[in-house]
Amino acid sequence: MTARRVLAVSALTTAAVMALAGCAAGSTPASSGGSSKGFSIAFVPKQLNNPYTDVELGGGKKAAAALSGVDYSVVGPNTASASSQVSYINTLTQKKINVIAIAANDPNAVCSALNQAKAGGAKIITFDSDTAKNCRSLFINQVVSKDVGLIEVKQVAEQINYEGDIAILSATANATNQNAWIEFMKADLKSNPKYAKINLVATVYGNDDDTTSFQVAQGLLSTYPNLKGIISPTTVGIAATARYLSTSSYKGKVALVGLGLPNQMREYVKDGTVKAFALWDPAKIGTAAVYAAKALVAGTITGKEGDTFKAGDLGTLKVGADNTVIVGPPTEFDANNIDQYNF
Amino acid sequence: MSDARSKTTVDRPVKARGAARRLLLGRNANTVYALLLIVVIASVFVPYFAGVATVSFLLIDAVPILLMAMPMALIIITGEIDLSVASTAGLSAAVMGVLFHDAHWNIWWVFVACIIVGLLCGAFNGILITAIGLPSLAVTIGTLALFRGLALVVIGDNAVADFPIDLTAFATSTIGGTGIPTFMIFVAIVVIVFAVLLHFTPFGRALFALGFSKEAARFVGIRVNRSKFWLYVASGGISAFAGIFWVLRYSSAQSDSVTGLELSVVAAVLLGGVSIFGGSGGIVGVVAGVLIIRTVNYSLQLAGLPDTVLTIVTGSLLVLSVIAPSVSARLRLSGERRRSRALLAETSAA
C-alpha cells in the first residue's frame, strides 16, 4: 500500500513537472542567438502588462527586428518589485545574455545582481528608471527630468488659474524617475513667484496599480474636498484618477494633469474630465536602447559623455552628463491634437 | 496452516519496517524523491540549468524561505498557522534601516534590536492566540497587515541603502567555488536546531500530540499554550533574522521588503509533507519542499517564463500539496478495504 502511495505521488509530480518542463522547453529556443555579428538583448521592465511599458518594449522589438541577428527577449515581474527583478537578472547572467536593459524598481536593490551580470560579460543599460550610476554603462531617459517637472506644474497652474490646493498622485514611493520629477515640481512651486498662491497639500502613492491608484484618488478627494488639481506623473495613476473623476461630482471641477497614454486618456479628454496632459513617445526609448546596445556590443561607444551613436529613425543620439541619453522633449496632448497619436 | 501463513506474510514485513524503511518510504522520503526528480527533469529540459550558477542563484533565494519555514513547520504541526512572518521580516527591515541610517547605531546593535522587534511581534501573536484564545488564522492575518503598516510608519517612503559593504558582500558571497551561499551555514544551524527540537525532544513529540488533539494533549500533561506561545516567539525571531538577511542581500531596507513571502513559506511547508490539519510532518520533508518550490520557480524563470506563470505554478503546487495526502489516504483506505475483503474471501474459502 505504501508502494502504491509512492507511485501515486510520484506520478502526480512527474505529470506536473513534465507539463511545466514541456512549456519551459517550448519557449526557450530564442535564448542562445549569440552568433558572430548579432547579439542578444533582454529587457527587464518594472513590471509586465503595463500599457506604457508595452509601448516602450514595442519600440525595442521593432528596432531589434529591423537590425538583423538581434535576439530580443523580455522577462520581468508581475508586480513592480525589485527582488523579483533580481531573480530574472540572475537567470539572464546565467544565460550569458549580451545586453540587459532594465527599468529599476529600486536603484540599489538590483545593483549587486547587475554587477554579477557585468562580471559575466554583459553590458547594462537602464531605461526609464535609473540604478545607482556605477551599476550601468548607459541610462536612456525620456526627457530631461526638470522639463517633466516644469511642464506638469505649468499645466496644472494654467488650469486652476494659479491659485488653490493641489496634490500629487505618484507610482511607488521609491520610483527613481517619479521622485526626480516630483523634486523638480516642488522646487518650481517654491521658487517661481507665479505659483505663490498654489499650495501642494499631499503626495500619495498608487503603486502603479490601477485599483490602488483609484482608491488613493478617491481618498485624496475625500480628505481634501477643496482640492483644485491633481498631478499624476504616471500613466497608471492618471488613467485611474481620470476614471474616478469622470464618474464623480468632481468631474470638470478638479483639474487633472500628468503623464498619460493618448489611447488611455482619449475618452477622458473628449468627455471633459481632462483638459491637457503630457508625454513623450515611449516607443523611442525601446528603440534607443536597442541601438545603444548594438553600439556598446560593437565597441563603438563605451557610454562615456560625448559618445554618439546612430539610432535608426531617431537619428544620431548623444551621451550626455551622467552617461545619460535623452530621447526627446515631452509633448502636450489636448482635445485638438490627441487624435493624431495612436499609442 | 493458514495461521502460519498469515504470520509469515503479515508479521515479518512489520518487523522489517524499521527506521530504514521509514527513511526510504515515508512521506518525507517522497518529497525528497520528488525534489530529485524535478532537479533531473530541469537539468534535462531547461537549458543552462545544470551548473554552479544555478546552485548559487537558486539557493540564495531559498535562504529566507528556509529560515521562516522551520518555525512555520512546527506551528502548522500543532494545527495553527502564522501568516505574519513576511510582515514581521518587513518590520524588522524597516527598523534596521531607520536605526542604522537615521539613528546611526552600530550595525551589530541594530541587528540585536531587529531580532528583539521580531521576538516582540511573535510574542504579540502568541499572547493573542494562547492567552486570549483567538484563532491563529485570524490573528496572523491581522498582524500581517498590522506589522506591514508599522513598517510604513517606521521608515515611511525612504529606502536605506548605505549599509556596510563588507556585510552586504557577505550576504551575497558563496563558499569557495561551490556556489553555495555562505549564509547557508546559518540556515543549516537553524534547520538542525529545529530538526532536533521537533524529532528528538519531548517538546517536539508533544507538538505532534498537540496537533492531533489539543484536549488529549492537555490531558496527558502537555502545556499546550506555553508550547504554542514559544513557537510564535521563535517564528518572530527567525523572521526578523530573515528580514536582516533580505536587507543585506538587496542592500536596501524599505517598507515593502519581503512582501508576500508568507505564501511561498506556507506552500513549501505543506508541499514538504506537513499536514495542514496538524499532527504530522518532518523537517527533512520541509527542507525538500522549500527546495522544490525554488527549483520549479527558478527553472521556469530560467526558461524565460513570465511571473504570471510562476504565480500559477506556486498556487497549483500549494493546492496539490493539500490534495495529495487526502487522495493518497483515500487510495490507502480503498486498498485496505479491498485487501480485507480478499482476506475474508480467502479465509472463508479455506
Query: Is the minimum CB–CB distance between A4 and chain B shorter than 8 Å?
Result: yes
Question: Distance between CA B126 and CA B139 in Å, rounded?
Answer: 9
Q: How far is B332 from chain A (nearest CA, A)?
A: 6
Query: Is the minimum CB–CB distance between B54 and chain A shorter than 8 Å?
Result: yes
Give the pLDDT of residue B19.
Answer: 60
Strands A164-170 and A138-141: unpaired
Nearest to A91 by CA among A64, A69, A122: A122
Question: Distance between CA B297 and CA B310 in Å, rounded?
Answer: 6
Residue B43 has pLDDT above 90, yes or no: yes
Give the pLDDT of residue B18.
Answer: 59
**In whole numbers, what is the pLDDT of chain A averaged over residues?**
87
Contact B57 A24 (CB under 8 A): no
Give the pLDDT of residue B22.
Answer: 61
Query: Is the minimum CB–CB distance between A298 and chain B shorter than 8 Å?
Result: no
Residues of B in contact with A31 (CB under 8 A): 47, 304
Window 257-276 of B, Cβ < 8 Å to A: 259
B192 to each of A26, A77, B184, B206, how far by Cα in Å? 40, 34, 12, 18
The predicted-structure confidence for B87-107, as pLDDT tens digits, reads as follows 999 999 999 999 999 999 999
Residue B159 has pLDDT above 70, yes or no: yes
Contact B45 A21 (CB under 8 A): yes
Q: How far is B317 from chain A (nearest CA, A)?
A: 9
Q: How far is B31 from chain A (nearest CA, A)?
A: 9
Give the pLDDT of residue A51.
Answer: 83
Residue for grid cell 495529495:
B324
Give the pLDDT of residue B23.
Answer: 60
CB A143 within 8 Å of CB A328: yes
Burial class (CB in 10 A: 0-12, 13-18, 19+), A227: buried
Question: Distance between CA A62 and CA A29 in Å, rounded?
Answer: 20
Site from B256, B292, B331 to mutate, A interface, most A CB atoms within 10 angstroms = B256
Site from B41, B314, B326 to mutate, A interface, most A CB atoms within 10 angstroms = B41
Give the pLDDT of residue A191.
Answer: 94
Site from A71, A81, A87 to mutate, B interface, most B CB atoms within 10 angstroms = A87
ipTM of this predicted structure: 0.80
Phi, psi dihedrals of residue A331, rounded to the nearest 5°: -110, 145
Contact A13 B38 (CB under 8 A): yes
Query: Is the minimum CB–CB distance between A23 and chain B shorter than 8 Å?
Result: yes
Give the pLDDT of residue A143.
Answer: 82
Average pLDDT over residues B283-299: 93
Contact B34 A10 (CB under 8 A): yes
Give the pLDDT of residue B350.
Answer: 59
Contact B304 A31 (CB under 8 A): yes
Contact A106 B259 (CB under 8 A): no
The dihedral formed by the CA atoms of A181, A184, A186 and A187, expressed in degrees to the nearest 10: 170
Average pLDDT over residues A254-261: 94
A168 to each of A55, A237, A238, B298, how far by Cα in Å? 24, 10, 10, 38
Contact A95 B41 (CB under 8 A): no
Contact B33 A87 (CB under 8 A): no
Question: Distance between CA A257 and CA A239 in Å, rounded?
Answer: 10
Q: At what angle do helices A235-246 and A262-270 cross, to 10 degrees?
A: 20
Contact A25 B46 (CB under 8 A): yes
Residue of B nearest to A8 (CA): B328
Query: Is the minimum CB–CB distance between A10 and chain B shorter than 8 Å?
Result: yes
Query: Is the minimum CB–CB distance between B328 and chain A shorter than 8 Å?
Result: yes
**In whole numbers, what is the pLDDT of chain B averaged over residues?**
88
pLDDT band at B335; cut points 50, 70, 90: confident
Residue for grid cell 547605531:
B105
Residues of B in contact with A27 (CB under 8 A): 303-305
Nearest to B82 by CA among B235, B196, B225: B235
B54 to each of A27, A115, B180, B263, how far by Cα in Å? 19, 17, 10, 23
C-beta pairs of B319-324 under 8 Å, 24+ apart in sequence: B320/A12, B320/A16, B320/B271, B321/B267, B321/B270, B321/B271, B321/B272, B321/B289, B322/B270, B322/B276, B324/A9, B324/A12
The predicted-structure confidence for A186-202, as pLDDT tens digits, reads as follows 999 999 999 999 999 99
Share of chain B above pLDDT 70, in %: 92
Average pLDDT over residues B300-313: 85
Contact B254 A174 (CB under 8 A): yes
Strands (E), chain A: 39-44, 70-74, 99-102, 123-127, 138-141, 164-170, 198-205, 227-232, 255-258, 276-279, 308-310, 316-318, 324-326, 331-334
CB A263 within 8 Å of CB A342: yes
Nearest to B249 by CA among B299, B181, B185: B181
Question: Distance between CA A285 and CA B5 in Å, rounded?
Answer: 81
Give the pLDDT of residue B20.
Answer: 62
Query: Is the minimum CB–CB distance between B168 and chain A shorter than 8 Å?
Result: yes
Contact B306 A76 (CB under 8 A): yes
Q: How far is B57 from chain A (nearest CA, A)?
A: 7
Give the pLDDT of residue A37.
Answer: 65
Residue A27 has pLDDT above 60, yes or no: no
Residue of A nearest to B59 (CA): A87
Query: Is the minimum CB–CB distance between A209 and chain B shorter than 8 Å?
Result: no
Burial class (CB in 10 A: 0-12, 13-18, 19+), A45: buried
Average pLDDT over residues A292-320: 92
Q: How far is B250 from chain A (nearest CA, A)?
A: 4
Q: Which residue has the higher pLDDT, B139 or B157?
A: B139
Contact B259 A90 (CB under 8 A): no
Query: Is the minimum CB–CB distance between A131 and chain B shorter than 8 Å?
Result: no
Residue A21 has pLDDT above 60, yes or no: no
Window 305-334 of A, Cβ < 8 Å to B: none
Query: Is the minimum CB–CB distance between A3 and chain B shorter than 8 Å?
Result: yes
Give the pLDDT of residue B333.
Answer: 81
CB A10 within 8 Å of CB B320: no
Query: Is the minimum CB–CB distance between B327 and chain A shorter than 8 Å?
Result: yes
Query: Is the minimum CB–CB distance between A134 and chain B shorter than 8 Å?
Result: no
Question: Distance between CA B84 and CA B86 in Å, rounded?
Answer: 6
Phi-psi sector, A323: left (phi>0), alpha (psi -120 to 50), beta: left
pTM tops 0.90: no
Give the pLDDT of residue A162.
Answer: 95
Give the pLDDT of residue A177.
Answer: 86
Query: Is the minimum CB–CB distance between A94 and chain B shorter than 8 Å?
Result: yes
Give the pLDDT of residue B315.
Answer: 85
Residues of A in contact with B25 (CB under 8 A): 2-3, 6
Share of chain A above pLDDT 90, in %: 68
Q: How many CB pairs under 8 A join A and B?
A: 155
Contact A24 B320 (CB under 8 A): no
Q: How far is A8 from chain B (nearest CA, A)?
A: 7
pLDDT band at A20; cut points 50, 70, 90: very low
State the CB neighbour count (10 A cutoff) for residue B26.
18
Residues of A in contact with B328 (CB under 8 A): 5, 8-9
Residues of A in contact with B38 (CB under 8 A): 13, 17
Q: Which residue has the higher pLDDT, A78 or A297?
A: A297
Beta bridge partners of A310: A316
